[in-house]
Structure 1
Amino acid sequence: MATFLYARVSTSEQTLSHQQTQAEKAGFIFDHVIADHGVSGVSVLMKDRPEGRRLFDMLRAGDTLVVRWVDRLGRNYADVTDTIREFMRRGVVIRTIINNMTFDGSTTDPMQMAVRDAMISFMAASAQAQAEATKEAQKAGIANAKEKDDAYRGRKPSYSREQFQTVMDLASKSMNVSEIAQASSLSRQTVYRIKEDPAAAEKALAMWGL
């Protein structure tokens, strides 16, 4: 009988060293440490992770699997509950570092089984709710960063690089603003802005990758 630590490492705060240290402080000693690095916990099924597949192959009846929390064992409610129940069917005992929970498939008492299964469902649902909250926070952070980036870059130019070049070429030929506007399909105001400060106009194009 062996004791395994399984860790999913996807952020700088979730390092393998950190998770292993937490487990050892909780009193666990491991025969095997298995970790998936850079794997999204909300998009990749447990059985489809490289080390997750290896864990499925290695675990045997009587082994103990230690995880930081049940969210390490799946991408959503269904995946977490399926994984836990599959391991319990194999006779594997699952322990969590947080709250020191134990899930043991060997019990045959109906009441204990009902309580255990209800707890698995509750914890898996909580894990998915947290994952959904994290995704929403990430979306909000990305949107906020984009807004800040757009503000830094200023207003997106209303002209293309080709139009900018057309204005500069025709202006060098002493064509008037109306003629340049017609030739470049730009407004007179835009032509005036480009002519008055071509360096700023070109910088705006560069800032937006145009």
Structure 2
Amino acid sequence: MDAHIYLRASLKDQDANRAKVALEAFATEKGLTIAGVYAENISGTKLNRPELLTLLDTAKSGDVLLVESVDRLSRLSQADWDTLKATIKAKGLRLVIADLPTSHMLVQDTGITGQIMDVINNMLIELMATMARLDQDKRVERINQGIANKKLREPDWKPAGKSRNAAKWAKVQSLLLEHPTMNAEDIASLAKCGVATVYRIKRATAAKLQHSD
């Protein structure tokens, strides 16, 4: 049985591949053949994730979608989570969560035991997805409260903007120069960044060149 490993981290300075070795060992232990490893740095609140979409497009019915934990797969809104679940089900994939032991039986059991475990798993995964979403909401609420309190104490204070990732900019600029006809989506995939970042760097580079002229 083929397994497709999905790895995700939210921040650019976090290692999305942190759990790669452990999940590969897990797959080997369960007798699974690793068909692909998909890693990306992107928020779990976003449904449109390039690597996840590639996995869903590549995987075949009966394959395993293997993740470390539910929150690596989803911190989505209920509507987006429902969409993702429907896509996984429509593809006929078996969702196996490494830190959810009850899901491990889905690797082999296809009879009545497998059906019962599938029902139990769906309930547990739904609960864990809800907890991940609530945790994300609480985190955002705390950040917003902190900003509001800071502004009350210092009315003239403004949040600092995100600093530029020099290495990322250099990578995208290099790809733009090497592949002038390549579309932004492909460059974003190669540079492991968002499409919006590619367009922003493209505009900044073009403006800089015009100014130098």
Instruction: Name the TM-score, length of structure 1 as normaliser.
Output: 0.55
* 2:134 corresponds to which of 120, 129, 137: 129
Alignment of 1:107-122 (within 5 A): 111-122=116-127
Aligned residues with identical type, % of pairs: 25
User: Deviation of residue 6 (structure 1)?
Assistant: 0.8
Counterpart Cα distance in 2 of 1:19 and 1:147: 41
Q: Which residue of 2 aligns with 1:10?
A: 10
Contact 2:66 2:98 in 1 (8 A): yes
Q: Could you say if the C-alpha distance between residues 22 and 10 of structure 1 is closer, same or farther in structure 2, counting changes exceeding 3 Å? A: same
Q: Which residue of 1 aligns with 2:77?
A: 76
Q: Which residue of 1 aligns with 2:103?
A: 102
User: Deviation of residue 60 (structure 1)?
Assistant: 0.5
> Which amino acid is the alignment partner of residue 122 of structure 2?
D
Unaligned regions of 5+ residues in structure 2, if any? 29-33, 158-213
Counterpart Cα distance in 2 of 1:63 and 1:95: 10
Alignment of 1:195-206 (within 5 A): none
Alignment of 1:1-210 (within 5 A): 1-11=1-11, 14-24=14-24, 27-29=26-28, 30-37=34-41, 39-42=42-45, 44-45=46-47, 48-74=48-74, 75-102=76-103, 104=106, 111-143=116-148, 150=154
Partner-residue secondary structure (3-state), 1:16: coil
User: Deviation of residue 35 (structure 1)?
Assistant: 1.9
Contact 1:73 1:80 in 2 (8 A): no
Counterpart Cα distance in 1 of 2:73 and 2:43: 12
Partner-residue secondary structure (3-state), 1:36: strand
Q: What is the count of residue pairs matched by the alignment?
A: 147
Q: Which residue of 2 aligns with 1:206?
A: none
Counterpart Cα distance in 2 of 1:70 and 1:89: 19
User: Deviation of residue 31 (structure 1)?
Assistant: 3.0
User: Deviation of residue 111 (structure 1)?
Assistant: 4.9
Task: Kindly report structure 1 stretches of 4+ aligned residues shifted beyond 6 Å.
Answer: none
Which is further off, 13-22 or 123-132? 13-22
Which has the higher Rg, Structure 1 or Structure 2? 1
Deviation per CA, 1:88-139: give whole Å up to 9, x if none: 3432111112233428495667755543332232122112112212222332
Counterpart Cα distance in 2 of 1:82 and 1:146: 38
Q: Could you say if the C-alpha distance between residues 17 and 117 of structure 1 is closer, same or farther in structure 2, counting changes exceeding 3 Å? A: closer
Q: Could you say if the C-alpha distance between residues 113 and 20 of structure 1 is closer, same or farther in structure 2, counting changes exceeding 3 Å? A: closer
Instruction: Name the TM-score, length of structure 2 as normaliser.
Output: 0.54
Contact 1:73 1:84 in 2 (8 A): no
Counterpart Cα distance in 2 of 1:32 and 1:2: 9
